[in-house]
Structure 1
Amino acid sequence: MPRAIWKNAVIAESTTFETVENNVYFPPGTVKTEYLRASDTHTTCPWKGVASYYDVIVDGQVNKDAAWYYANPKDAAKNIKDHIAFWKGVTVEAGR
C-alpha cells in the first residue's frame, strides 16, 4: 500500500488513493495530521483549481509546503477533494 515518509516517519498510508499527474493523493483520514501544519501558501492549477499547502514537521524539523490539497477543486478534479499529496523530499513508496 502506498505510504508517504519523511525523516523516517510514516506520514500517510492507505490502500485507497488517487493518482493524478504521477502524484499519489491520500484520502482524508489516512494522513497523520500531527505531522502537518497549515501554511499560508496557495497556488492555482488551470484544471484542478486552488491548492492549499501544509508544512510537514517531524522531530521539530520543518519541510515547508511539502504537502498540498484541493479543498474546492474544479469539476475535473473532484475525485481528489481534500486528498493530500506530497513532494519536496517526502518519499511516496508504492508499498509492499
Structure 2
Amino acid sequence: MKAIWNGEVIAESEDTVVVEGNHYFPPSSIKKEYFKETDTHSACSWKGTASYYSVEVNGEENKDAAWYYPETSELAKNIKGHVAFWKGVKVES
C-alpha cells in the first residue's frame, strides 16, 4: 500500500493493518521528512487517544492529515504507533 499526497509517496508498506476501513502503516514505513507533529488529539472509545501529524510536501501543508495512537487499549495493540491518513491523502495499492 502507498499513501500519496501532493504528488509524493509519503508512506509505503506491504504490512498495513486495516481497522474501520483505514490502512494503518507501520511507523518504519512513513517518510519522516514529510511529517510534523501537531498538538491535536482526539479520543476513541475503544482504541485510545490519537495524536496527529501535519503532512508537508513541496511547500504545502495538510494540517492533521495523519494520526496514530502512541498508546492503545488492549483491543487496539496491533496498531500502536501505526499511522493512518485522511484529508485528501490517497491510500492505494
Which runs of structure 2 are paired with 1:68-87 in the superposition (5 Å)?
Answer: 68-87=67-86
C-alpha deviation, 1:28, in angstroms: 1.3
**Matched residue, 2:35:** 36
List runs of 5+ in structure 2 lacking aligned partners.
Answer: none
In 2, distance between residues paired with 1:35 and 1:86? 13
Q: TM-score, normalised by structure 2?
A: 0.99
**Matched residue, 2:19:** 20
| Structure 1 residue identity aligned to 2:90 | T
Moved >6 Å (runs of 4+): none
Which runs of structure 2 are paired with 1:44-83 in the superposition (5 Å)?
Answer: 44-83=43-82
- Count of residue pairs brought into register by the alignment: 93
C-alpha deviation, 1:60, in angstroms: 1.3
What are the superposed Cα offsets for residues 22-51 of structure 1, whole Å, 9 maximum, x if unpaired?
000000110001000000000000000000
List runs of 5+ in structure 1 lacking aligned partners.
Answer: none
In 1, distance between residues paired with 2:66 and 2:59? 16
Q: TM-score, normalised by structure 1?
A: 0.95
In 1, distance between residues paired with 2:37 and 2:14? 25
